[in-house]
Structure 1
């Protein structure tokens, strides 16, 4: 559907920084709603059917996401004496601001659910390396450039999730 003059496409990036946004990410259904709305705008009924959730629950969690400016109404249409609203994500990409590892961990839980439900075998590599700070910075920049430079092939193509992470491991606990 072509946006009407009252609609606007999602922003490119939302950096999660506010208490309302962290609260919004704190529930698995809200994370699943954000993933589902990454495909195209949808109504409460469509989201409920897609996610196997009750419409009342979906409506409640969409309100929390709207209050946090993470979801907005894309457009509305009149149906049988009522108005049907189509919701979309506020931004194509969501990034947790540095220093908020609990929110990052919550998002990883939602990604794990998505990966386990995905058809086929996902590509997943976990490797531990000893790097200098300069090497880690170069690797982070290269990974960011790779992900940021990937182009969407269009709505007729299958969707793929991309998760890239570079993190410094916590030191091992001291011997007992």
Structure 2
């Protein structure tokens, strides 16, 4: 399926859409559909689900507008549907102060489920930046991610890149106990 006609971004705005993307299984289904259309059977195999469970989750994503049928074909008298993402990327609403960030929770779950012997690059760096540097770094990270997304080849293994640039919460300094 050519992705030239896909909208760049799908903005999650309704409770139904937010519930649809909040589920880790549906997050993994969307990962399968990120680069190429797939049938319920193909999705079930890739995600490790029963076909019925896969169908249920895909229907919820379709109802929320996040995935769509892009092609059908008849196979032994049954109509086989190929599903794909409705947009190149999904933009979630800001979780607000103290709210859970769904993307980070899903990314951590995917990282924990990844094969332990596989190559990984995970790190955390603490920085002190001006507002302008903070904005510039965020834009550079986004641009770099987009450059590599454009190089993605559906025939190659999946790779996930997750980044979070944020100002951590600041609390009261830790008071030392005195005796």
Normalised by the size of structure 2, how large is the TM-score? Answer: 0.81
Question: Which of 110, 132, 155 matches 1:134?
Answer: 132
**Contact 1:76 1:83 (8 Å CA) reproduced:** yes
Higher mean Cα deviation, 49-58 or 114-123?
114-123
Separation in structure 2 between the aligned mates of residue 98 and residue 170 of structure 1, nearest angstrom? 16
Separation in structure 2 between the aligned mates of residue 53 and residue 100 of structure 1, nearest angstrom? 33
Q: Cα RMSD between the aligned structures?
A: 2.6
**Contact 1:8 1:74 (8 Å CA) reproduced:** no
- 1:168 is the counterpart of 2:164: no
Separation in structure 1 between the aligned mates of residue 106 and residue 87 of structure 2, nearest angstrom? 18
Partner of 2:153: 154
Shift of 1:111: 1.6
Shift of 1:148: 2.4
Partner of 1:125: 123
Higher mean Cα deviation, 8-17 or 86-95?
8-17
Question: Cα distance 1:113–1:82, how it changes in 2: closer, same or farther (>3 A)?
Answer: same
Question: Which of 66, 76, 93 matches 1:97?
Answer: 93
Separation in structure 1 between the aligned mates of residue 67 and residue 99 of structure 2, nearest angstrom? 18
Higher mean Cα deviation, 15-24 or 101-110?
101-110
Partner of 2:41: 45
- 1:11 is the counterpart of 2:7: yes
Q: How does 1:34-73 map to 2 (within 5 A)?
A: 34-73=30-69
Q: Count residues in correspondence.
A: 172
SS in 1 for 2:79: strand
User: Which consecutive residues of structure 1, in runs of 5 or more, have no partner in the other structure?
Assistant: none
Deviations 1:121-153 (A, max 9, x none): 211221122222222112112212222233224
Question: Cα distance 1:134–1:174, how it changes in 2: closer, same or farther (>3 A)?
Answer: same
Normalised by the size of structure 1, how large is the TM-score? Answer: 0.83
Shift of 1:175: 4.6
